[in-house]
Amino acid sequence: MTKGLSESNTNQHDQIRQLWLTADCVCFDVDSTVCVDEAIDELAKFQQVGALVEAITRNAMGGNMSFRTALQARLNLIQPTRQRLEQFVKNHPSKLTDGIAELIALLHERNIPVYLITGGFHSIVDPVAKSLNIPLTNVFANQLLFNEDGSYAGFDEEEMTSDSGGKGRAIEYLKAKFGYQRLIMIGDGATDMEANADGFIGFGGNVVRELVRDNAPWFVNSFYVLTDELRNNLLSTVPHRRSFHERKYSTEIEAN
């Protein structure tokens, strides 16, 4: 039994590695994947309700409540006004995970479309996308709504990622619209693993979620692993380039 399971895991690992080398689309989660932190938790700290919101986030990531229920509960506690949100984005720029800029640059070099699919908010995620040269049309995120006086009014429930299964719906949409056959999803959470991509790579560089670590066909703790896998596969076909490990990038995103 153990041997059979081990062989099965090895086969899955080999299959996803091969799929990674031939991917025709790559989708990333944002919080704790592309970026170091969970943006909604950081916004909650900014609004001085951090501990309460983090508890709800943990329950949501563990699959103990629907995403929409958790999102509503967290935002009702945070009550982000338009002005406070703008202050947060300006004063607390998102920090990129080490190696993500290099990886996405390499994917762009290979003309592989890159998408961000997140339960986070456009106002926070869009500056991240711009910094990585990802078109805003390639961002699936939630839209906060405000009253005329700038007070919090809710969020757009028509957005695909506003409810449980939203990442899967976004991936189905992309595959139907563009015909992607080898779409890879990369993320740290159970919602990423369950998004019905052609292949899933679990990421634990910022936080390791046991469910993902134990069930992902390929689990990595550094984006450099994925970059090196692509670069090593390209050594015979592309000119020598300076090692990504030697490059230096700023990891803070300027607000617009």
Query: Per the structure, how many domains does the chain have?
Result: 1
Q: Indicate whether 32 belongs to any domain.
A: yes
Contact (CB, 8 A) for 239 and 78: no
Q: Indicate whether 170 belongs to any domain.
A: yes
Confidence at residue 233, expressed as pLDDT on a 0 to 100 scale: 82
Q: Indicate whether 253 belongs to any domain.
A: no
Strand 152-155 relative to strand 144-146: parallel, antiparallel, unpaired? antiparallel
Q: Indicate whether 79 belongs to any domain.
A: no
> Is 60 exceeded by the pLDDT of residue 201?
yes
Confidence at residue 234, expressed as pLDDT on a 0 to 100 scale: 63
Q: Indicate whether 162 belongs to any domain.
A: yes
Active site residues: 29, 31
Q: Give me the CATH number covering residue 136.
A: 3.40.50.1000
Q: Indicate whether 179 belongs to any domain.
A: yes
Q: Indicate whether 49 belongs to any domain.
A: no
C-alpha 167/C-alpha 159 separation (Å) is: 11
> Is 90 exceeded by the pLDDT of residue 77?
yes
Mind listing the pLDDT tens digit for each residue in 220-246?
999 999 999 999 986 433 443 333 343
> Is 50 exceeded by the pLDDT of residue 120?
yes
The whole-model pTM stands at: 0.86
Local confidence band at 7 (pLDDT 50, 70, 90 cut-offs) = low
Q: What is the rounded average pLDDT of the residues 117-124? A: 96
Mean pLDDT estimate for the chain: 88
C-alpha 30/C-alpha 42 separation (Å) is: 14
Q: What is the rounded average pLDDT of the residues 122-140? A: 97
Q: Indicate whether 78 belongs to any domain.
A: no
Q: What percent of the chain has pLDDT over 70?
A: 86
* Two structure tokens written together for 107: 């994917």
Mind listing the pLDDT tens digit for each residue in 155-198?
999 999 999 899 999 999 999 999 999 999 999 998 899 999 99
Mind listing the pLDDT tens digit for each residue in 85-114?
999 999 999 999 999 999 999 999 999 999
Q: Note down the domain range covering 200.
A: 12-37+94-236
C-alpha 229/C-alpha 218 separation (Å) is: 13
